[in-house]
Structure 1
Amino acid sequence: MALTIYPAIDLKLGQVVRLAEGDMDRATVYGDDPAAQAARFAEAGATVLHVVDLDGAFAGESCNGAAVRAILAAFPGRVQVGGGIRSRAQAEAWLEAGVWRVVMGTAALENPVLVRELAAEHPGGVVVAVDARGGMVAVRGWAEKSSVSVEDLGRRFEDAGVAALLFTDVGRDGLLKGVNVEATAALAAAVAIPVIASGGLAGLADIEALKGRPGIEGVITGRAIYDGRIDLAEALALAA
């Protein structure tokens, strides 16, 4: 089974950045033209993108809307967007703007009824973010740790029609430590929803380790591409 590679564009104040462990004070800037970055990913063969409004994740509302719309205009493939999407109006505005899927994390924990309703009304249009610190779900831009386990949150949406669970090991994110393959596989085994791995992808070996694992649909990669540790075209070929 092919593994989908999701190149990531994380947005802070309109710039393309990567954070270390979700810490806004530990941001590395990789460019100030998100649309151009999206176009470069398309040229390398990417057909999907993962875009995060980092400021929005902390503010609880869209803060980088202009940059996201520029990415949508520049990228011919499908774009999923997360970061601060916590209301029906926010989610539907992005879906109507041409976003393929909205990623909802804090809302999934705090307003699961809304997320279930949106998943039912927009089949394939909602991804639930399961962000983990020590096996427990972290919310509000990863700043707050809940008492809900990763598997428990995933199971709450098993019959809701969500497109996927996006599992991030926050402790590895942006650190190039390698994907937490075992925790990702454990979540995929515990739920009947496809899982996307995220956090720490360091090289092609991570893609090899995830490929063929039951229930793991894809993987997000950011810093490894920006730092030149992996070539996106090569990663896409390996994953296919």
Structure 2
Amino acid sequence: MNYLPTSHLSRRNDWNRQRKAIIHHSPMAVVFKLLTATVIITLFALVLMIESAHAMAADQTPEQLVKQTTSQMLHALQEEREEVKKNPQRVYALADEIVLPHFDVQRMAAWVLGKHWRKATAIQKQQFPNEFRKLILRTYATAMAEYTDENVVILPTRLEPDSTDSLVRTEIRRSTGPAIPVAYRMHKTAGGWKVYDISIDGISLLNNYRRNFSREVRRNGVEGLMKKLSSHNTQVASSK
């Protein structure tokens, strides 16, 4: 119920409409609208860029992915040569950022344990891949750091249209001595191609680890292997 005369109510309604019109068309309101629109457009553009990046990674062939990743890693090592000399741990950070996202560490960890993976507890299946990832990271990063000034050549790869597995062969061609063959075994996942084994001069990294880990598990169990691996990783991480 209104207690104001009709004439007062009419004037008040007119004023409310004018006030809303003034606020709506004021310079600050216009600026606010422009800023809001800009933020929305920017966020939308970022979403499109992220989705596009994921799509590009998923569409890359194994050969393209290895070539791009290797080139990025070697370039980063050359750019940060002085920093790496002062802080060797920087190599691991670069490999973790550039290389490891393209490794299927979960599959690799399960494979190197073999039959022992099935017997591992849920906690061990969660913790072991983390320790194994650190081992792979340091092994690969150390190897790459030794060949910063060498020429890495990606050899042609034949890939069938519907293939979900691929072998990408590369060569590290040194200024002295024979070339070192390095091969990447990869499989196709929902997130693009992932590396699940590396062979250096014909020796499979995973086969080597599997033999060593199997002996350790037979002696001390999965828990004993994890403790030894964790101790090794901690020791390497603290070394300069």
- Verify same fold: TM over 0.5: no
Larger radius of gyration: 2
Return the TM-score normalized by structure 2: 0.24
Return the TM-score normalized by structure 1: 0.24
Which one has the bigger helix percentage?
Answer: 2
Which one has the bigger strand percentage?
Answer: 1
